[in-house]
Amino acid sequence: MDLLEVGTKVKEKALAIGFDEVAVGVTATESVMVKFANSEPSVVQNWSTIEVGVYVTKGQRILGTSAPVSSLEDAYRILEKLYAMHHRLPPSMLYAPLPEPGKPAVLQGLVDKRLVESIRDPSGISEAIVEAANRYRIDYFAGMLQISHDRKALATSKGAEMQEESTYLKMYIRAFAGEGSGQWSLGTRRLDMRRVEEVAETAADFAFRSRVQEEVQPGRYNILLSPMVAGNLFNYIADMALAHSVLMGSSIFMNNQPGDRVASEALTIEDAPHLVELPGSTSFDDEGVPTYNKPIIEKGVLKTLLHNTKTASKFGAKTTGNAGLVFPRLWALNVRPGDYKFEELLSEMKNGLIVTNNWYTRLQNYVEGTFSTITRDAIFIVKDSDIVGAARKLRIADSFPRMLQNIVAVGDTPYDMYWWEVETPTRTPYILVRDSGTSKHTA
């Protein structure tokens, strides 16, 4: 039974049980993961899953869930449990009818047959990673490589019947040398061995160059954010442009309207589901609405919040093709490159820090956007536009609105980031931010 047939049967069952509206997404995934430890592959895992996501309504009550299934009966049991609990819920303030299905354009280039083949045998990619990392004088490296082949189908009670197939590679490598460490990542739908090797080389290079470190005093610095760090922080900012984030009071854009200036003119961030090289790219959303690329912030101006049909109705807007199962979601982010080469970014910075990685980003106040994040791996010290050393760990402590306004330069070379601190695949260059706050990390 193909996936669309599964989705159609689950949809019909939901209507027969008594639900008013139904959207069913079915996703089949085949994956392999290679874990690296002590500079060599240590574990290889293969798995296959079928997951069913259901969105149902009854009397303007909204329910939704997703779960792995092994049979139609598993999916039917999910529906029965949802129906048994629907009467306990009040009608939703966000209810709006499912939309009529659109006609999404077929996206070309979502599948790379070489990645499909590599799921069966990832050894060639693994060996290239090991060889590339060992081109540098490091002590050891660790990391992860995942390759997946996805097939998805959507069936709705409005008549949508859509299917799509895709592949992606997701990886990160972390290398160690002396006191230093370095990390880099990659997310892509296409296999390019040179880009895979560059991940390992960059991590090893950062580790080697930061092997001797010194203390720097906390304070305010010009900071060059690597694509790893920019990807993480822009994920948080883009999440705040989801309409339900504004409704729930967890957004820096609560007091803004499209057309307001919220960032430096140097910054443009797009939700880019048609950027087919990035994982996350797709032609239709979970309501059957065609997706399209659209700016969230364009040249510093807030252009749009991201909507599904329900939030669009609440805001008096139109859906932007960002429906997830229940709430709006991001697909993939694209930060438009600027004109600055790396050396020119250092010249513009003059004095400051290059932060290559971060983790544990936490918000103290979502509306004000005050946050902190712990720097991880190599931090390079820049004096008179030259890299002169490496610093020990710090914490960046600032606010997103101030950071957005203080962007002074954007690099001209984009990188495709995707790992567990960049959950939405993001294409971004280096970003120079002036006068960023830092504090001492004591843990």
Q: Are residues 95 and 198 in the same domain?
A: yes
pLDDT at 54 over 80: yes
Q: How confident is the model over 385-432, as pLDDT tens digits?
A: 999 999 999 999 999 999 999 999 999 999 999 999 999 999 999 999
336 and 270 Cβ atoms separated by less than 8 Å? yes
| Across 170-192, average pLDDT | 99
pLDDT at 440 over 90: no
The verdict on pTM exceeding 0.85 is: yes
| Across 365-381, average pLDDT | 98
Q: Are residues 112 and 228 in the same domain?
A: no
Q: How confident is the model over 127-158, as pLDDT tens digits?
A: 999 999 999 999 999 999 999 999 999 999 99
Task: Give the residue with greater pLDDT, 443 vs 26.
Answer: 26
Q: Residue 408, class by beta-carbon neighbours within 10 Å (0-12 exposed, 13-18 middle, 19+ buried)? A: middle
User: Closest Cα to residue 206, out of 232, 178, 171, 234?
Assistant: 178
Q: Are residues 200 and 236 in the same domain?
A: no
Whole-number percent of the chain with pLDDT over 70: 100
* CATH code: domain of residue 163: 3.30.2290.10
Q: How confident is the model over 302-348, as pLDDT tens digits?
A: 999 999 999 999 999 999 999 999 999 999 999 999 999 999 999 99
Q: Are residues 190 and 220 in the same domain?
A: no
Sign of CA dihedral 209, 210, 213, 216: positive
pLDDT at 273 over 90: yes
Q: Which of 153, 177, 209 is the last residue of a domain?
A: 209
User: Closest Cα to residue 142, out of 176, 115, 91, 110?
Assistant: 176
Amino acid identity, position 355 = V
Q: Are residues 153 and 229 in the same domain?
A: no
- Supply φ then ψ for residue 422, to 5 degrees: -130, 80
Q: Which residues contact 221 (CB under 8 A, 6 or more apart)?
A: 351, 352, 353, 435, 436, 438
Q: How confident is the model over 276-286, as pLDDT tens digits?
A: 999 999 999 99
pLDDT at 441 over 90: no
Q: Are residues 262 and 242 in the same domain?
A: yes
Q: Which of 188, 209, 230 is the last residue of a domain?
A: 209
The CA distance from 51 to 74, in Å, is 10
| Across 193-209, average pLDDT | 99
Tokens describing residue 218: 């906390």
138 and 128 Cβ atoms separated by less than 8 Å? no
**SS3 call for 206:** helix
User: Closest Cα to residue 285, out of 298, 299, 270, 271?
Assistant: 271
Q: Are residues 147 and 237 in the same domain?
A: no
Q: Which of 151, 182, 209 is the last residue of a domain?
A: 209
Tokens describing residue 307: 């909507």
406 and 264 Cβ atoms separated by less than 8 Å? yes
Q: Are residues 135 and 230 in the same domain?
A: no
Q: Are residues 305 and 157 in the same domain?
A: no
How many domains does one find in the chain? 2
pLDDT at 443: 60
pLDDT at 1 over 80: no
Please compute Rg for the chain using Cα positions: 23
Q: Which residues contact 56 (CB under 8 A, 6 or more apart)?
A: 14, 19, 20, 21, 22, 23, 62, 63, 64, 79, 82, 83, 86
Domain enclosing residue 133, as ranges: 3-209
- Strands 269-271 and 333-335 come out as antiparallel
Q: How confident is the model over 222-268, as pLDDT tens digits?
A: 999 999 999 999 999 999 999 999 999 999 999 999 999 999 999 99
Helix (H) or strand (E) holding 373: strand 370-375
181 and 378 Cβ atoms separated by less than 8 Å? yes
Sheet order of strands, 61-68 included: 61-68, 40-58, 21-37, 140-156, 161-177, 180-188
pLDDT at 357: 98
244 and 320 Cβ atoms separated by less than 8 Å? no
